[in-house]
């Protein structure tokens, strides 16, 4: 499939050929996308939440109530979970929330995410993302001409520092290098903006060249 290429000044800059195997999938598998989003969100969880068990709380070990004659239960330890200040039964522990997902499924999920943007006509290809001026106001005006208000922008191997600096103050605009391309960020923004370098890198990635 062919897609028009534009510049930051909203001028035509030719066309680019997109691989149908990556950008032209007709039947978008929502279940694969959901599995990939769950995989990403699970991996980013810190997993540092923790409560103390009864063996970890610092309380007296003295038997605090006599065995008989109190009219109550025969308690022997103050660190039991039923007492205030005692340990927590079955509380959260430090652990890794991540789980495995086959590499082929992850690659397929990215293809479906890219194809979903192309199918919804929410994909824009920029000639480049060079903006040495580094002024947020000027870049926001360029985005308004292009109709970009909520977007993920993927640059080449390295981001232009002026572009990244100007874009970081614009709400609902995310800018990532090619290495940061991921399913979750593609889906959470309304529009996907790729530079020509990013398109070439995506093709190389899925064709086994990079």
pLDDT tens, 164-199? 999 998 999 999 999 999 999 999 999 999 999 999
Mean pLDDT of 115-120: 94
- Written as six digits, the tokens of 22 are 């990556």
- Written as six digits, the tokens of 7 are 């510049």
Domain regions of the chain by residue span: 2-38+100-206
CATH 3.20.20.70 holds for 2-38+100-206: no
Please, which residues have CB within 8 angstroms of residue 90's CB and are 6 or more apart in sequence? none
Q: What's the pLDDT band for 209 if we cut at 50, 70, 90? A: low
At CA 87, angle to CA 67 and CA 92, rounded to 5?
150
Say how far residue 157 (Cα) sits from the centre of its chain. Answer: 19
Lookup result for tokens 């690659």: 107
Residue pLDDT, tens place only, 125-163: 999 888 888 789 999 999 999 999 999 999 988 898 999
Residue pLDDT, tens place only, 9-30: 888 888 999 999 999 999 999 9
């Amino acid at each position: 499939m062919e897609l028009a290429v534009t510049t930051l000044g909203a001028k035509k800059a030719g066309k680019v050929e997109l691989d149908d195997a990556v950008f032209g999938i007709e039947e978008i598998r929502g279940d694969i996308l959901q599995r990939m989003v769950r995989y990403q969100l699970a991996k980013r969880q810190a997993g540092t939440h923790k409560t103390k068990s009864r063996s970890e709380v610092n309380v007296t070990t003295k038997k605090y109530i006599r065995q008989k004659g109190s009219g109550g239960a025969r308690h022997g330890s103050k660190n039991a979970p039923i007492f205030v200040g005692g340990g927590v039964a079955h509380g959260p522990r430090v652990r890794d929330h991540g789980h495995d997902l086959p590499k082929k499924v992850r690659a397929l999920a990215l293809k479906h995410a890219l194809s979903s943007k192309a199918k919804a006509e929410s994909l824009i290809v920029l000639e480049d993302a060079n903006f040495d001026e580094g002024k947020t106001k000027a870049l926001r005006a360029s985005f308004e001409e292009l109709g970009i208000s909520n977007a993920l922008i993927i640059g080449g191997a390295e981001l232009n520092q002026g572009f990244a600096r100007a874009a970081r103050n614009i709400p609902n605009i995310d800018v990532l290098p090619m290495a940061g391309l991921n399913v979750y960020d593609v889906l959470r923004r309304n529009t996907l903006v790729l530079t020509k370098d990013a398109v070439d890198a995506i093709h190389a990635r899925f064709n086994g060249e990079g």
